[in-house]
Structure 1
């Protein structure tokens, strides 16, 4: 039996026709992404903002294309994935050289950077989620080999659980035997009142659910997995309807973490029996397989 969870809409206080011009917003975001990519190799400041902008465009595309059935939507998600992976490719190599990264159907010679503030455990998780959604095995392999010590050198102030979560995903992807140890530490680190730096509301409703979903994937029980997926999407909706500012943010249109783990579940043969605009169908089903040379 399929459970349907509809995506939230705009709050009643917002006059959509007058206050939100979706077409103009998409055009502006597209222009910003293209501009940042033009300067990606030469402007550290723009490069540091490129992932958030590219992901904003990918999410915004799903407002008007909730199933991700349009090529432009798939292109936006692939571009976000390529940008995130490029950050870590650049940071993982010794400074003073270059690394070839493909972004938006162009091979770019990018300068290596060493540790950077934006190359942290939080952005690593985002990059890994994007690579799972795009089923990019090569980039997943590269991300899984990024040293956790490099992420700690970013200087970012983050809760300790996230390093355990990174190590969980890396160990799983590389077939190591310490997945359970790291996963237990990640779960323990996201418990009630555990957040020191993250907002506890975000910890409980956004950061924790992909971890328990991953645990359900490892158990390979379809009923348990789909029950956890329903919970994750309902918590996502609760978080992104908490107030008007969140409710109009394009960041809430897609549940990235649950989507990524659901894509992993499908690749491992688990049925996904939940339908929602938070899980764009074409992304979940990998309907655009092979359409872009990533």
Structure 2
């Protein structure tokens, strides 16, 4: 999944016209993430049946370190970008902590995202994520887009667009420091792209234009959402 993510980000940083290849990376990453958490959902001692890249595969059930909160967050981002029901479903069912407690600086944001996807008190969870947003900075990490998520939860399209512009500007400023510009993550913030694609698919008008927000990927997001 990380390999497909890196290919996508590399292509996003080196080409504005390679949308088909980028989408192929995103779709495969989304399938891999879904497969990982289908395996985590399966009953111990059984085998999970998954489909990846058009191949039907079987894998022993397991909830190892790979099914941790970080991979859950990335897999969820890929599923929201691609908008594939079958990929998001196991992530909604598992949540971020199926393989153990999430002790990261992003725990509150991931909890809020899961609360939104399940519809279980998303407002309170989004407020907690906002309060915890500074923790990532204190620990030396780039923070998750808690403000952006909170505006989506509130259903405020105008404020969402303002928060989207702020999130992309913060991403740019963060990766302009020292050698961060060489980091593959500098080209795209997956969490921000995921929320933007989801908003577009919900029928919202995403008015922000930025090299960090590939417009052709937004255009590929259909205005139909049947997951929840």
Q: TM-score category by the smaller chain? A: 0.7 to 0.9
CA 1:184 to 1:57, structure 2 compared with 1: closer, same or farther past 3 Å? same
Match of 1:128 among 76, 99, 107: 76
How far 1:186 moved relative to its partner?
Answer: 1.6
What does the per-residue CA deviation read over 1:172-218, in whole Å, with 9 as the maximum and x for residues that have no partner?
22333x11121122221223xx34xx76442xxx4332x21111123
CA 1:219 to 1:67, structure 2 compared with 1: closer, same or farther past 3 Å? farther
Match of 1:96 in 2: 45
Gaps of 5+ in 2: 224-228
Match of 1:259 among 163, 169, 193: 193
Match of 2:144 among 208, 231, 236: 208
Secondary structure at the counterpart of residue 65 of structure 2: coil
Equivalence map 1:158-237=2 (5 Å): 158-159=104-105, 162=107, 164-176=108-120, 178-191=121-134, 194-195=135-136, 200-202=139-141, 206-209=142-145, 211-237=146-172
What does the per-residue CA deviation read over 1:70-101, in whole Å, with 9 as the maximum and x for residues that have no partner?
x2221111111111222211122223222122
CA 1:55 to 1:271, structure 2 compared with 1: closer, same or farther past 3 Å? same
Are residue 106 (structure 1) and residue 55 (structure 2) matched?
yes
Higher RCO (CA < 8 A, seq sep 6+)? 1
Secondary structure at the counterpart of residue 254 of structure 1: coil
> 1: distance between equivalents of 2:200 and 2:26?
18
Are residue 270 (structure 1) and residue 213 (structure 2) matched?
no
How far 1:120 moved relative to its partner?
Answer: 1.4
> 2: distance between equivalents of 1:56 and 1:88?
20
Match of 2:14 in 1: 64
> 2: distance between equivalents of 1:78 and 1:151?
24
The structure that is helix-richer by fraction is 2
> 2: distance between equivalents of 1:108 and 1:240?
39
| TM-score, normalised by the number of residues in structure 1 | 0.69
Gaps of 5+ in 1: 1-50, 290-294
> 2: distance between equivalents of 1:147 and 1:254?
24
> 2: distance between equivalents of 1:214 and 1:172?
9
Secondary structure at the counterpart of residue 271 of structure 1: coil
Note if contact 2:72-2:96 (Cα within 8 Å) is conserved in structure 1: no
The count of aligned residue pairs is 223
| TM-score, normalised by the number of residues in structure 2 | 0.87
> 2: distance between equivalents of 1:165 and 1:58?
24
> 2: distance between equivalents of 1:87 and 1:167?
19
